[in-house]
Chain A
């Protein structure tokens, strides 16, 4: 049994409630316990840090201070949202780097009777925990109903692997931990070169044109490579790709209808939980037609086209995580 401090972030209480619920369900299958940080507040999301530095860091610093105070056994702090994860990690890093910033932030925290020493909380993303702490072998043992035949595009987004403050757990350009995880639960992983590109974040509110361009690129790339479903690890990514699919179709004259599910929902389905328990059906682009592709037996690998005599050999692939 592994225990973690848990920082859900605002999204998991609202639009991404299914992320929270599915996570809690699969946590049991993986022997994970999460203790929610009491009285946590918003992390400031993607824009506050660029607007007003000290209050932004103080906002995140308060969560770190609370986590440190309530975390008596030196447990890691887990954030399932990539933006929350990055803000927590970034704040901890810059407070350690700049004594002046640290002084000002702690001055603000003192008003609420709090204090934070940088480095005292180890922040991790949920995917990092499943891939590294739990490990693929243990995940494989929990699988009851493998997702054979389901073609998944593993979508990492841009925040979890960059920037590498203390070295990331995965490659920053072509990460592979979610690929391996999806294969572990029986799904077929499609090549998805755009897997670490940005979903547009809050650009949907600021410059829709830019956001639609980024979302269109991702949807098109996943569909071009034959994906049935995109697996997301961040509420922002899920929301943008799901909720703006209609707008993309109107803007670009396309006809995308690819469902975006949280990776925890797919884990849950593979662990034998029902679709309703996993919140399937609450997404805007209905996932049920895609999930109907799940087979009871693994598909035969497609017969490889015999390479032409002229074709030059490819270099061997680099090993995945």
Chain B
């Protein structure tokens, strides 16, 4: 039987990347001969198929040889599928009639034996040829884009992203879990390396977000459910009851003053200070309205008190208020959910939680903050004694196989900042205990030089323990830092009065659930995974969901702001397009075969499958479907087929791989 298709096979050398391990000339002459009876009319190899000359080769053959199918054997489809599809489309061939098979990532890069690698490459090409025969021309679909955007997380990343979009005239919903936006940055006193006051540079941004005509601020709120797809997400947000009517509250704070219940503030004050049961996290909070923490409120516990209500002249207290469910429709989503601080109590050898004068980095930020519990006085836990010697331990919970392998990025610079502040405000001796000093980026190393010149001591070595067991009279009643000084090659015991632990940045404790809700993934360490680590760091594998700031990995404020702005730029680009072309590679349900078992409904990672109660069949939302094929594999009735991944295509590719298509079948 004469083959119906006219297929061109193109083999890329990729310089020596492929040609070094695979005999590419042999491959092209083999493909032209051995696969001729399957429709291959031309087979060529070329140094760089992706170059414009390489693409021209394909285009010329499509026109002159009237090719109906193209197989390119080169790198992974992740890299150049789009390139070759476009080359085909430009030459008048439907782009989905082009198949890219990988003989680099799956062959040349993973093998050393040239003969065996060439044999394997033949099988891979043979599979591609069989598969492409079953391809069908497809047309991309387009979806309209809702110009509104959801930003989750009101730290500096979320604030920056929201600001960029709102300033461009498009609407933003900014959802924040805490009663105020500001995030971790609002807790800091100074920022490195310039020692700018964090509040001075942050609060103006908070204020303009709070009053921006294009921003709807939803604080004390959490996203509960996300449905829909790029361009058209519907999001359910729970706005927790604050028991304060914001329409009449003036933000005078008399309620906070009169509330008799004092609670340790483990969030904003990092456990180092107190707040009331009715509170704003800090005076410059945006919005300015307080919330009642019902768990600690005397009235909610005993039914008596109401001090806040009694003293509120505006009559804003409303104990009957309930959680509010808000439904939003947005086209794109930016996740800027930030980080949690490593629980330093887990490094038991450093005594945090047991030894009063061991502090975490975040506690120390509050200690130095002029608006903090000590008004910026650097004192011991007793609240009055100034330390004469302070030890700062780097990498607590970072670069440690027991906890986190990664470097938390900010700790070196943060520790230098702490050292400078201690020196400046108390004149104490300061010891930094580090593994490696990492002060990359603009003006960071200059700051290191400055702190060195201020007489701060730097001891290279992993601290063994912080102990209150004294050896000598001068160690009595102090904390002793036992460490190896790897530059001296000696064990040292250094008595200090205060220890600061530069604790690791960790993914939010609930980052897995958040990722699942938004249909994205987390890395092994728990950070949100970007689409490409170098070339697409703020997009994710799910269309319309972007990430920014520490949710993607530890980073400092400049990088966080950069990512916030970058994510906003990506969203703005989408909004300007007004509609978005989507890959037509989708799963489809053949209704006649569907038994309505619903197995596929919960398996879909993109929430694209729903159940039609009337017809009793599962329905796939084509715009949501990302063509992953999970449902196709799971369907017990064979009722779902994936365009471009149909059973015929996959079976044909397997037959090709096994060389069952040869004139005289052989097992490769």
Contact = CB atoms under 8 A, between A and B. Distances in A.
A213 B471 CA distance: 9
A209 interface: no
Interface string A185-211: 000000001100100000000000000
A315 interface: yes
Contacts of A312: 272-273, 373-374, 381-383
Given A174-B354, A193-B467, A194-B469, A313 B384 contact: no
A227 B88 CA distance: 85
Interface string B349-362: 10111101000100
A220 to B, nearest CB: 8
Contact of A318 (B271, B274, B353, B356): B353
Nearest to B366: A312
A100 interface: no
A315 B352 contact: yes
B383 A173 contact: no
Interface in A272-321: 308-318
A149 B382 CA distance: 29
A221 interface: yes
A310 B384 contact: yes
Contact of B354 (A194, A213, A317): A317
B595 interface: no
B269 to A, nearest CB: 9
Contacts of A313: 264, 271-274
A217 B471 contact: yes
Nearest to A316: B353
B331 to A, nearest CB: 43
Contact of B382 (A193, A213, A310): A310
Interface string A202-239: 00000000000100010001000000000000000000
Nearest to B346: A318
Contacts of B382: 308, 310-312
A246 interface: no
Interface string B257-268: 000000010000
B402 to A, nearest CB: 10
Instruction: State the main secondary structure of chain A at its contact with B.
Output: loop
Interface in B340-384: 345-346, 348-349, 351-354, 356, 360, 373-374, 381-384
A171 interface: yes
Interface string B381-402: 1111000000000000000000
Contacts of A174: 348-349, 351, 354
Nearest to A217: B469
B345 A311 contact: no
Nearest to A175: B348
Contact of A314 (B273, B353, B360, B384): B353
Contacts, number: 59
A316 B264 CA distance: 10
Nearest to A310: B383
Contacts of B352: 315
A315 B348 contact: no
A205 to B, nearest CB: 23
A29 B383 CA distance: 50
Contacts of A315: 271, 345, 352-353, 360
B512 interface: no
Contact of A317 (B353, B383, B384): B353
A173 B469 contact: no
Interface in B164-223: none
Nearest to B349: A173
Contacts of B373: 312
A221 B382 CA distance: 23
B531 to A, nearest CB: 38
B465 A173 contact: yes
B44 to A, nearest CB: 53
A249 to B, nearest CB: 18
Nearest to B385: A310
B41 to A, nearest CB: 59
Interface string B444-456: 0000000000000
A133 to B, nearest CB: 24
Interface in A167-191: 171-174
A311 B379 CA distance: 10
B271 A193 contact: no
A173 B348 contact: yes
A308 B383 contact: yes
Contacts of A194: 469
A311 to B, nearest CB: 5
A251 B353 CA distance: 35
Contact of B383 (A311, A316, A318): A311
Contacts of A311: 381-383
A309 B373 CA distance: 11
Contacts of B346: 318
A313 B352 CA distance: 13
B23 interface: no
A154 to B, nearest CB: 15
Contacts of A173: 348-349, 465
B468 interface: yes
A312 B372 CA distance: 11
B122 to A, nearest CB: 41
A194 B469 CA distance: 6
B381 to A, nearest CB: 5
A258 B273 CA distance: 41
Contacts of B381: 311-312, 314
Given A173-B348, A173-B349, A314 B469 contact: no
A309 B382 CA distance: 9
B400 to A, nearest CB: 14
Contacts of A172: 348
B361 to A, nearest CB: 13
A211 B438 CA distance: 41
B345 A318 contact: yes
Contacts of B349: 173-174
A314 B348 contact: no
Contact of B468 (A193, A310, A317): A193
A295 B521 CA distance: 60
Contacts of B351: 174
A82 B381 CA distance: 38
Nearest to B264: A313
Nearest to B352: A315
A193 B355 CA distance: 10
Interface in B448-476: 465, 467-469, 471
Nearest to A194: B469
A171 B348 contact: yes
Contacts of B264: 313
A317 B353 CA distance: 5
Nearest to A309: B383
Most buried by A among B374, B384, B467, B469: B469
Most buried by B among A171, A194, A197, A318: A318
List the 10 closest A-B pairs by CB distance, nearest first: A310-B383, A173-B348, A173-B349, A318-B345, A174-B348, A194-B469, A315-B353, A311-B383, A313-B264, A312-B381
24 contacts: A171-B348, A173-B465, A174-B349, A174-B351, A174-B354, A194-B469, A217-B471, A221-B469, A308-B383, A308-B384, A309-B383, A310-B383, A310-B384, A311-B381, A311-B382, A312-B381, A313-B264, A313-B271, A313-B272, A314-B381, A315-B271, A315-B360, A318-B345, A318-B348
Given A193-B469, A217-B469, 18 more contacts: A171-B348, A173-B349, A173-B465, A193-B467, A193-B468, A197-B469, A308-B383, A310-B384, A312-B272, A312-B374, A312-B382, A313-B271, A314-B353, A314-B381, A315-B271, A315-B353, A315-B360, A317-B354
